């Protein structure tokens, strides 16, 4: 599928930047402890969002450490199946630390619930979650994000880090692609 198959810009660059700024204000309001906040991004989808968010947090006076974990759900394309696999763990020691998990989109909830549980098992003092997008109609397991950029309908979303079969991550805006049914 070529980039011109991306239908409809849902959120343009200015809308995303404005929302990231407000999210950083919301996070800063509850993150003023003596220790830096440890941001843990879920790769690969979160890399652009996290890069913007950590700089927006800096402008709000929040000191941060950054690490990533690579999680994959079995299957590819637009459908993810039930299992989440940890392909690469974080390297930072999060014992006793306040962690902000950062992901691109909360869909079935499996990735987020797996990641939160894992970070708590590693000894994090608190784990809060920030997602750029939430698709609440798709939830299959209970999962909660403390900070949400935008709520989106049940459509396949790409751009600003989100992919369809590894394409479209580089788009500076967020759009949707038509996807054939199951
Ligand atoms: P969950 O585990 O079902 O909540 O899925 C979360 C992961 O599935 C996200 O981190 C994305 O990588 C991927 N995903 C779910 N919905 C979409 C979408 O609409 N576009 C792109 N990726 C998606
Ligand atoms: Mg992802």
pLDDT confidence of residue 22: 98
Query: Residue written as tokens 């790409």?
Result: 158
User: Of residues 103, 104, 107, 134, which has the active-site annotation?
Assistant: 107
Give tens-digit pLDDT for 31-86.
978 899 999 999 999 999 999 999 999 999 999 999 999 999 875 455 556 789 99
Instruction: Output the pLDDT for position 2.
Output: 52
Q: How far is the CA of 16 from the centre of ligand 1 (A)?
A: 18
Q: How far is the CA of 80 from the centre of ligand 1 (A)?
A: 7
Work out whether strand 84-88 and strand 98-106 pair parallel, antiparallel, or are unpaired: unpaired
Vertex 107: Cα angle to 59 and 9 (nearest 5): 65
Instruction: Output the CA 30–ligand 2 centroid distance in Å.
Output: 25
Residue 109 CA: which ligand 1 atom is closest? 4
> Given pLDDT bands bounded at 50, 70 and 90, which one contains residue 5?
low
How, if at all, do strands 37-43 and 98-106 pair?
Answer: parallel
Atom of ligand 1 nearest to the CA of 140: 3
User: Residues 111-139: pLDDT tens digits?
Assistant: 999 999 999 999 999 999 999 999 999 99
Burial 10-45 (b: 16+ CB within 10 A, else e): bbeeeebeebbeebbeebbeebeeeeebbbbbbbbb
State the average pLDDT over residues 160-164: 97
Task: Please give the residue that has the higher pLDDT: either 11 or 77.
Answer: 11
d(CA 20, CA 9): 17
Which stretch of DSSP H or E encloses residue 101?
A: strand 98-106
């Amino acid at each position: 599928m070529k980039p011109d198959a991306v239908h409809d810009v849902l959120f343009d660059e200015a809308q995303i930047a404005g929302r990231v700024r407000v999210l950083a204000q919301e996070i800063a309001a509850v993150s003023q402890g003596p220790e830096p906040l440890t941001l843990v991004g879920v790769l690969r989808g979160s890399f652009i969002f996290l890069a913007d968010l950590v700089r927006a947090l800096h402008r709000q006076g929040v000191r941060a450490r950054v690490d990533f974990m690579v999680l994959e759900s079995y299957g590819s394309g637009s459908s993810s199946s039930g299992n989440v696999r940890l392909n690469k763990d974080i390297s930072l020691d999060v014992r006793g630390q306040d962690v902000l998990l950062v992901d691109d989109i909360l869909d079935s909830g499996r990735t987020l619930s797996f990641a939160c549980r894992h970070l708590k098992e590693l000894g994090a003092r608190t784990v809060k979650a920030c997602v750029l997008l939430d698709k609440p109609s798709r939830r299959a397991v209970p999962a909660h994000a403390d900070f949400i950029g935008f709520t989106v309908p049940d459509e396949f979303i790409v751009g600003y880090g989100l992919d369809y079969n590894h394409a479209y991550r580089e788009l500076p805006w967020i759009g949707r692609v038509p996807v054939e049914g199951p």
